[in-house]
Structure 1
Amino acid sequence: MKTKQALSDLYEAHRSGLLSYARQLSGDSVLAEDIVHDAWVLFAKQPTQAISSPASYLRTIVRNLLLTRGRRAKIERVSDADFDVVSATVADETSSPEDVVAAREIMTCVMDALDALPKRQSDAIRMYHFEGMKLREVAAALDVSISMAHTLITEGLAICNRVRKEGQ
C-alpha cells in the first residue's frame, strides 16, 4: 500500500481531522500544523502494511508528539529561569557557626553522660547505636537476656536524652 499516491490520498483524507484534533489538544493552530506535519513524516517512515487503522495511528502519533512537546516546554521553562532569581528563593540550609558550636557542646555533654553510665550500659548503647549490632548480638556480647539488653539501652538513652535537653 505504501505508494506515493496512496500515502498522499491518505494524508489528504485525514489532514483536516488531524488538524482539528491537534488544535483541540494544543489550543494553537500554528503548533497544530507543525505537529500534524511531524506526525505525517513519522507515519510515512513506518511500514503501513501492518497498520489496520491508519487514522487512529496518526491520531496517536499527534497526541504523543503534543505530550512530548509539552514535557519539553515544561523542562525548558524551568531551565530558562534566571539563576540569581531562583537561588534567592532557596532557603539557606547551612548552620551558623553559633549553631555548630552549640551542637558540639551538646554532643560533648551527651558523650560525657554516656561515659558516666555504668560500663555495661554504656557498652550496650555503643554496640547497638554506634557499631550497628542487633539487640540479640548485644545481649550475647554482654551475656544478658535480650530484654535486659533492651532495658539497658532504653534507660541509658533516656539519661542521654535528658542531658541533651538540658543542654539546649
Structure 2
Amino acid sequence: MNSKRTSLELYQTHRASLLSYAARLSGDHTVAEDIVQDVWLLFSRQQVEMIAAPLNYLRTMVRHLVITRMRRLGREGTLGTDFETATAAIIDGQVSPEENVASREAMKRIVDAIAAMPDPRQRQAIHMYHFEGMKLREIAAHLGLSLTRVHGLIEDGMVICDRVRKEGQ
C-alpha cells in the first residue's frame, strides 16, 4: 500500500474527530473546517510510515494551527468580530479622514522630536536608517562611528520617538 493511500485513509477515518477537536479549540465550526483542510494539505505531503503515532501527529497539527490562527487574529484585532465588522475598514483600502489627520499629526510630532534631539549624529543616524533606508554598516561608515554606537544612537532615539507617539494618543 503506498503512503498517499495510507495517509488519505488515515485522514478520512479520523476527519470527524479532528473536526470536533478543532471546533472545540477554536470555538468556531467554520474555522475548524479550514484548519482540518489545512492539516490535510500538510499531512498529505508526509510519509506516514515515518510517523510513530499518526493520529497524535494529526491532533498536534490541528492544535498548532488553531493556536497560530488565534494569535494572528489577536494581533490583527479581529478576534471575536464577525467578517463584515473586521473587513469594513479595509474593503477599499482607504483610511478615514480622521485617521489620516491623526497619522499626519503623529508623524509631525515624531519628526519634530527627531529634530529636537541634542546629538546631531543621533538625528542623522535615525534619518538615514528610517527615512533613507540605509543599513547600519553604511551609517557607521558615513558617520565614522562603530556599528554598536550607531545601533545605540538609533535605539535611544526610537525610545524617544515611541514616547512622543504614545503621549499623543
- Normalised by the length of structure 2, the TM-score is 0.45
Asked which structure has the greater CA Rg, the reply is 1
TM-score (norm 1): 0.46
Q: Which has the higher helix share?
A: 1
